[in-house]
Amino acid sequence: MFVMSYLDKIDKASLPGHIAIIMDGNGRWATKRDIPRFEGHRYAVKSVRACVEAAAELKLNVLTLYAFSTENWRRPKKEVSALMNLFFEFLKKELETMLKNNVRFKLIGDRDGLPDFLQERLSHALDSTAGNTGLLLNIALNYGGRDELVRAARKLAEEVKKGDLQPESIDESLISEKTFTAGVPDPDLIIRTSGEQRLSNFLIWQAAYAEYFFTDVLWPDFTKDNLHEAIFEYQQRKRTMGGATVSEAGSKFSADIPLTASNSRISETLV
């Protein structure tokens, strides 16, 4: 009997423009196999490659991967050092994949806080892919959502201090312009692996209206089919962005009905 794959089920005309992934579970994957945690991180590179290739094949606009947070520096020094060396290897080995798939690479996060030995290779990857016109691959490295907002606030405060900006002129668009993702559409779909169901300080400003997909699959086991499944699930949802769906707008609970005590709870669900 023929069974349709998730790729076959996906509506190619209504793909999410921006997918972001919290890549979680490398350590647990390694522990289950009684091998060092670092081997989980190393094995997980294949999942990164698979998702980049899948996103490029589907002609998605943006893929953002949460690789290393500002809080991850608290991990054992040996593990952090191993991760930094892995990023160094990744930038060399995966550059060919990015060039082959017309991928433009971008770093989001505090680059100045990364080790010196990474800087030249980062610059090479950024420069080498700058002219590519396909998928935009954001790697969140030394990234924290709260840190990002603090930096944005400081930039705006400095402009106000200089007299270049009036406080009352600050709005959502101005704040967005000061984030690491300035000019990039907010994520439509955020995926988290390993069964955890939280943002962990990831894109907390940009995720306001994102859809979430949580899976028990550990990141090193995440495949193209898992990504296709998340996209298919995303397409089954109705996104209202705080408004009402077409059917709701035409119902007896439409916004043109005066708000009374009896229907206030129903109205609250539309926000």
Instruction: Give Cα separations from 110 to 162, 180, 182, 220 (angstroms).
Output: 25, 9, 14, 26
User: Residue 129: which of 105, 108, 111, 107 has the closest Cα?
Assistant: 105
* Rounded to 5°, angle at Cα 187 from 185 and 189: 150
Q: Is 221 a catalytic residue?
A: no
Measured in degrees and rounded to the nearest 5, phi and psi for residue 133 equal -115, 5
Q: Tell me the chain's radius of gyration from C-alpha atoms.
A: 21
Q: Is 72 a catalytic residue?
A: yes
The pair of three-digit structure tokens given for residue 120, joined into one six-digit string = 């030249």
Q: Which residues contact 155 (CB under 8 A, 6 or more apart)?
A: 178
Alpha helices in 94-182 (DSSP H): 95-100, 116-129, 145-162, 172-177
| Three-state secondary structure string covering 56-105 | HHCCCCEEEEEEEEHHHHHCCHHHHHHHHHHHHHHHHHCHHHHHHCCCEE
- Which candidate in 61, 72, 132, 201 is catalytic? 72
Which residues belong to the active site? Answer: 24, 72
